[in-house]
Amino acid sequence: MASVPSLAATVSQRVSDALSAALPEAGSADPLLRRSDRADFQANGMLALAKRLKGNPRELAAKVTDALPENDEIADIEVSGPGFLNITVADGALVRNLAARAEDERLGVPVTDSPRRMVIEYSQPNVAKEMHVGHLRGTVIGDALVRIMEHRGDEVIRRNHIGDWGTQFGMLIQYLIEHPHELDESGAEQGTESGGNAAMSRLNRLYKASREKFDADAEFKERSRRRVVELQAGDAETVALWQKIVDESKRYFNAVYHKLDVLLTDDDVVGESAYNDDLPVLARELEESGVAVRSDGALCVFFDDVKGPDGNPTPLIVQKADGGFGYAATDLAAVRNRVGVLKADTMLYVVDGRQALHFKMVFETARRAGWLPEGVAQHLEYGTVLGTDGKPFKTRSGESVRLMDLLGEAVERAAGVVREKAEQGGLGLSEEEVQDRAQQVGIGAVKYADLSTSRSRDYVFDLDRMVSLNGDTGVYVQYAYARVRSIFRKAADTAKPVAHPEVELAAQERALALQLDAFGDTLATVAETNEPHKLAAYLYELATLFGPFYEHCPVLHADTDEQRENRLFLCDLTARTLRQGLALLGIRTPERL
C-alpha cells in the first residue's frame, strides 16, 4: 500500500515553495491551484497576496515563476491576466504519477494518519410502519458515507436508531394478546423479499385492526394504556410480544436493505428502546445540574433563540408531566452513550432537514450537560424527495410511496434498458443475466440519482430520467465502465498494461489523465465535507471524458505499440477508478451492459 500524492498536489507544493523563496515576507501562502481550461491549472493566489503585501500581482507572479527551480513536473508556466499563473504539466510526469497509482490497490489514495472514531447514524425507520420514499435518502447517503469514511481509514460504528418505543405499542400488544394469531406466518420464506413483504403486510393488518378498535372501543383503549405501563415495567409477556413485533419489522427492514444493497445488519440496530434504563437517571442529572427545569410539571430545557410563533420560548421536553419520556430524552441518552461509552469523537446524524431544530436543541442540551464536546456531533440534513409535480412524492391517491415498490419499479425499468441495449449490441443475454444486470442498474440508478444531488437540496424522483443512458445518471457511469471493460475483452491482452511516460499525449488523453489524477483529492474533500455528491460529480466527469478519448484516440489501432499500451493503461486506470468510486457510493459495476 503506497500512497501517491496527486500531481496537482506536487505542482501546488512546488509553486508554494517558489513563492516562499521569492517572497519571504509572504510566509507560506496557498497558491490556490485550480483546474482551468486555459492551461492545465491556474493559480490565482497571487492576487490576494499582492493585496496583502501591497504589491503588483503581475510582478509578484513573475517573481514566483523566476524562483521556480528546474523540475520534471511543470512543462510551462506563464503569468496571465491580472496576475494568474497558467501552468501546464509535463505529459511524462502525469503518466509516471498515474503509473505509480496504478501499482497500488487503493489507487494511491492514502489511509489517513489521523483516524477518527465515528458513529454514523442513518436509516432509522419506525417499527410496525412501512419504509417509504422518505427513508431512501437517509439510508443511501448514510451508507455511502460509511463506505467513504471506512475507506479513508476511520473506525466507523453504524447506528440504526429505529423507532421501537412509544405508546402506540400498548395498542398493538393488547390487540395481539386478544387476537393471538394475528401475526402468524403464512409460510413465506425468511430473509427473502417476499418474506419481508409478507411480514410487513401482517404488521399493516395488525396496525389497522388495532387502530380501529382503539378508536372505537373505549375499554380497549384503557386496556391499551395499561399495557404501555406493563411494557415500561418490563412485564415478561408484554415484552415478549413487543419483541415479536420488533423482529417482524426487522425482517421487513432487512429485506429492503438487501434489495437496496446497503451495509446495515441487525448488529447495527440500536433502537430508541435501548436507552430505556438510562432515561430516569439522565433526567435526574439534568434537573440536578439545573440544565433542565420543571415547567407545568414537565422537565424542560429552554433556549434564548428558540421561540414559537407566539413569541414564547419553545422548550425541549425531556420528561412529560405524566412522567413519560419521549423522542428527545432518547436522543440525549444516545448522545451520552455514544460519546461516553462508545468514545466517539465524531458523530454524524443523517436525518431529514425538517428535524434540524430538534437536533439543535438536543446537541445544545447535551453540551450544557457536559456530555458532548464542541464539534463532535453534526446533523447532516437532507432534502425532500419530490414527485414530478414538484410536491413531496406521493401516490396518486395521496399516500406516501412504499420504498420496496419503488425499487421494484426501478429494477423493472432497468430491465427494459438492459434488454434493449443487449439487443442493439447483439449481446445475446439470457433472461437471468438481464435480471441480474437490471438489479444492479436499477438500484444503482436510484442510489446515484439520490447521491448526485447535493444533500440538503430537494430532488425530483423521476424514474425515466434515472434509468436513462444519457445525462448525469448511474447507468451512464456504469455504462462507461462496461465500455472500457469491453476494450480489454477485444484486446485479448492478458498482461497488465504498462504505462509509457515517453509517449506524447493527445489533448483528450491529457484531459482524462488529469481527471484520474484528481481521484484521491476528491475523496479527501468528500470525507471532509460529508458530501458524497462531489464524488458522484467526479465520476460523471470521468465517464464523460472517456467518450472523446475513445473517439479520438484509437486504442487497439494506435500508431505504435507503446501508444497502444499507454492507452490501454489509461483505460485500465479509468475502469478501476470508476469501479472503486462507484463502490464507495454503494453502486455496483456490471462488467457488460
Total interface residues for ligand ARG by CB under 6 A: 8
Q: Kindly state the cell numbers that stand for 42.
A: 491556474
Cell 460529508, residue located? 530
Footprint of ligand ARG on 228-267 (CB under 6 A): none
Cα dihedral: 130, 136, 141, 146 (round 10): 40
Sign of the alpha-carbon dihedral angle for 484, 525, 82, 59: negative
User: Which CB, 128 or 173, lies closer to ligand ARG?
Assistant: 128
Backbone angles phi, psi at 64, to 5 degrees: -65, -45
Dihedral of the CA atoms 457, 461, 467, 469 (nearest 10)?
A: -50
Q: How far is the CB of 325 from ligand ARG (least distance, A)?
A: 14
Output the smallest distance, CB 426 to ligand ARG, in A. Answer: 48
Amino acid at 20: S
Q: What is the spatial distance between Cα 356 and Cα 382, in angstroms, rounded to a whole number?
A: 10
Judged by beta carbon, residue 135 or residue 152, the one nearer ligand ARG is 135
Which of 209, 157, 485, 173 has the alpha carbon at shortest distance from 338? 157
Check binding of 124 to ligand ARG (CB under 6 A).
yes
Q: What is d(CA 133, CA 390) in angstroms, rounded to the nearest whole number?
A: 15
Please give the backbone phi and psi of residue 296, each rounded to the nearest 5 degrees, phi first.
Answer: 50, 40
Per rule CB under 6 A, is residue 10 in the interface with ligand ARG? no
Which CB sits closer to ligand ARG, 99 or 361?
361
| Cell numbers linked to 400 | 406516501
Query: In this structure, what C-alpha cell is assigned to residue 355?
Result: 428535524
Taking the complex as a whole, the smallest distance from the CB of residue 126 to ligand ARG amounts, in Å, to: 5
In the complex, least distance from residue 403 CB atom to ligand ARG, rounded to whole angstroms: 13
- Binding string, 278-317, against ligand ARG, x = CB under 6 A? ----------------------------------------
Q: How far is the CB of 135 from ligand ARG (least distance, A)?
A: 8
Compare residues 252 and 476 and give the one whose CB is closer to ligand ARG: 252
At 498 the three-state DSSP class reads: coil
Residue with cell 425499468: 413
Least Å distance, CB 243 to ligand ARG, is: 19
CA angle (282, 301, 324) in 5-degree steps: 55
Decide if residue 384 touches ligand ARG (CB under 6 A): no
Closer residue to ligand ARG (CB): 126 or 201: 126
- Are 370 and 378 in contact, with CB atoms under 8 Å apart? no
| 160 touching ligand ARG, by CB under 6 A | no
Whichever of 161 and 588 has its CB closer to ligand ARG, that residue is 161
Cβ of residue 123: shortest distance to ligand ARG, in angstroms? 9
Could you tell me where the beta strands, DSSP code E, fall in 359-469? Answer: 377-382, 385-386, 459-460
Alpha-carbon distance 260 to 253, whole Å?
10
Q: What is the distance between the alpha carbons of residues 272 and 297, in angstroms, rounded to a whole number? A: 24
- Rank residues 120 and 351 by Cβ distance to ligand ARG and give the closer one: 351
Which DSSP helix (H) or strand (E) runs through 120?
strand 117-121
* Contact call for residue 163 and ligand ARG (CB under 6 A): yes
What does each C-alpha distance from 246 to 27, 139, 171, 243, 259 come to in angstroms?
A: 61, 19, 14, 5, 20
Which among 44-52, 120-128, 526-534, 572-580 is the span making contact with ligand ARG, rule CB under 6 A?
A: 120-128
Nearest-angstrom CA–CA distance, 489 and 425: 15
Please select the residue that binds ligand ARG; options are 331, 509, 531, 565, rule is CB under 6 A: 331
CA distance 558 to 570: 13
The smaller minimum CB distance to ligand ARG, of residues 252 and 569, is found at 252
CB contact at 8 A, 325 and 319: yes
Q: Is 365 in the site for ligand ARG (CB under 6 A)?
A: no
For residue 351, state whether it binds ligand ARG (rule: CB under 6 A): yes
289, 400, 409, 276: which is closest to 330 by C-alpha? 276
CB of 363 to ligand ARG, least distance (A): 11
Rounded Cα–Cα distance for residues 276 and 99 (Å):
55
Nearer to ligand ARG, 349 or 461 (CB): 349
Q: Of the two residues 124 and 337, which places its CB atom closer to ligand ARG in the complex?
A: 124
Spatial separation of the C-alpha atoms in residues 404 and 531, rounded to whole Å: 26
Q: Residue from 137, 161, 483, 485 that binds ligand ARG (CB under 6 A)?
A: 161
How far apart are CB 580 and ligand ARG at their closest, in Å? Answer: 30
Q: In angstroms, rounded to a whole number, what is the distance separating the alpha carbons of residues 183 and 86? A: 70
Whose Cβ is closer to ligand ARG: residue 138's or residue 170's? 138
Tell me the CA distances in angstroms from 501 to 87, 95, 98, one per residue in order. 19, 5, 10
**Nearest CB to ligand ARG, comparing residues 220 and 382:** 382
**Shortest approach of ligand ARG to residue 248 CB, angstroms?**
17
**Residue 350 forms beta bridges with which residues?**
380
State in angstroms the smallest separation of the CB of 176 from ligand ARG.
22
By C-beta, is 351 or 441 nearer to ligand ARG? 351
In the list 13, 80, 126, 384, the residue contacting ligand ARG (rule: CB under 6 A) is 126
Compute the least distance from the CB of residue 122 to ligand ARG, in Å. 9
Binding mask 461-500 for ligand ARG (x = CB under 6 A): ----------------------------------------
Return d(Cα 243, Cα 397) in angstroms, integer.
33
Report, in Å, the least distance between residue 163 CB and ligand ARG.
4
Q: Specify the DSSP class assigned to residue 88.
A: E
| Choice between 319 and 452, CB closer to ligand ARG | 319
Q: How far is the CB of 569 from ligand ARG (least distance, A)?
A: 47
Question: Where along the sequence are the contacts to ligand ARG (CB under 6 A)?
Answer: 121, 124, 126, 161, 163, 331, 349, 351
